[in-house]
Amino acid sequence: MGMLDGKVAIITGAGRGLGREEALAMAKEGCNLVINDLGAGFDGSGQPTRVADEVVAEVEKLGVKAVANYDSVTDFNKAKAMVDQAISEFGKLDILVNNAGILRDRMLVNMSEEEWDAVIAVHLKGTFNMTRHANAYFRQLVKDDPKLQFPGRIINTASDAGLLGNMGQTNYAAAKAGIAAFTVVAAMENKRGKYCTVNCVVPVARTRLTTDATPKFAETMSRLDERGFDVFDPANFAPMIVFLASDKATKITGEVFRIAGDRCWVYQGWHTVNEIINDGNRWTPQILAERVKQELLKGMPRKESLIDAFSALIKM
């Protein structure tokens, strides 16, 4: 018996990479699927191809039902139609995995408005669009049957580029950091009514977005560790999605998890690490100039970087 037997999930951006691995892992656990993928290049451009059909065929071989969807998550109404499609095809929706994404990397001083807008639209607005409509559906389920508790699961996808920072990705980083914050607040809003859990995952894996779009990571992410383990294989990440989508995760909400290789971390967001007090007096610029460097920033823990995260997995 699978952990997701009889469940119905939408996975956006499921035609390749992480989304495809998530679909395969969920199908193996008995989940029926709506496979969404626009079929474009990693930057959202190019002639669309129906890669979603290929994943539908793969998961159906595992004994579940699946349908394809080729719409963009950036369209509010098409996002609603995707939720409606799941309910029409399978009679219900249990799980939403927001995975769709593109990259338009550029140093800030050279970034165009279109490059900014396109990335924010797919990642941040797309996550909002899909979550907004799925959330409304889960809320109505509980309104119709108050005995239900957390019938829905929403799983969003962030990135270390947003939580730790990465040069050349102000658009992507802003979107991914926004998704993590969005997750925390959405979980708060749903917890009281017990409509759905909302969690966030941070994959460290080899995909088009981390190799084709970011060539500096390609060589590192192709290496095996000293044990011969492929730590950046996207299949390593998929079990976390299965777990968070399952009934075993009913009491877990508002969390941000990173997983890579054989390691799993949990994040906490912005929090104070030091403090100075001005003894009941208003700060002046002069006092701040004297005390911020000497006291507030003294002894601060070193900020974690992407290199630190990679080095924990494999010798750099």
Cα dihedral angle (58, 229, 258, 30), rounded to 10 degrees? 30
Phi first, then psi: give them for residue 151, nearest 5 degrees.
-70, -15
**Residue 116 counted as domain residue:** yes
- Averages of pLDDT over runs of 10 residues in the chain (316 residues) are 96 93 97 91 61 96 97 97 98 97 94 97 98 98 97 96 92 97 98 97 71 56 64 84 96 93 86 90 92 91 76 63
**Same-domain status, 170 and 283:** no
Single residue among 252, 270, 288 that ends a domain in this structure: 270
Q: How far is CA 221 from CA 139, 258, 308, in A?
A: 41, 16, 14
Q: How far apart are CA 10 and CA 16, in angstroms?
A: 15
Mapped onto helix, strand or coil, the DSSP state of residue 40 is coil
Task: Report if residue 239 sits inside a domain.
Answer: yes
Report the length, in residues, of the chain.
316
| H/E element, 32 | strand 32-36
One domain, residues 153 and 125:
yes
Q: Is residue 3 part of a domain?
A: no
Residue among 242, 154, 240 nearest 191 (CA): 154
170 and 300 share one domain:
no
Query: Are residues 133 and 100 both part of a single domain?
Result: yes
Question: 142 and 291 share a domain?
Answer: no
Q: Which of 159, 194, 195, 246 is catalytic?
A: 159
Question: Do the domain assignments include residue 2?
Answer: no
253 part of a folded domain: yes
* Dist. CA 109–CA 67, nearest whole Å: 42
Residues 50, 107, single domain; the answer is yes
Query: Is position 31 within any domain?
Result: yes
Cα(4)–Cα(27) distance, integer angstroms: 8
Q: Are residues 264 and 291 in the same domain?
A: no
What pLDDT, on the 0 to 100 scale, is given for residue 271? 83
If asked whether residues 307 and 241 sit together in one domain, one would say no
> Who contacts 208 (Cβ-Cβ below 8 Å, separation ≥6)?
16, 17, 42
Domain count for the chain, please give it. Answer: 2
pLDDT of the residue at 6: 97
Q: Residue 243 belongs to a domain with what CATH number?
A: 3.40.50.720
Query: Which residues lie across from 197 on neighbouring strands?
Result: 153
- Specify whether 176 is catalytic: yes
**Does residue 200 share a domain with residue 83?**
yes
Listed in sequence order, the DSSP H helices in 170-305 are 170-191, 218-222, 238-245, 285-291
Q: Residue 216 domain-assigned?
A: yes
| Helix%, strand%, coil% for the chain, nearest 5 | 45, 15, 45
- Domain span at 150: 8-270
Residue 219 structure tokens: 């060589």
**Does a structural domain hold residue 197?**
yes
| Catalytic site residue from 125, 137, 172, 194 | 172
159 included as an active-site residue: yes
Say whether both 244 and 109 belong to one domain. Answer: yes
Residues 90 and 201 reside in one and the same domain? yes
Domain shared by 17 and 109, yes or no: yes
Which pLDDT tens digit goes with each residue over 103-149? 999 999 999 999 999 999 999 999 999 999 999 999 999 999 999 99
- pLDDT, position 198: 98
User: Which entry of 176, 194, 195, 246 is annotated as an active-site residue?
Assistant: 176
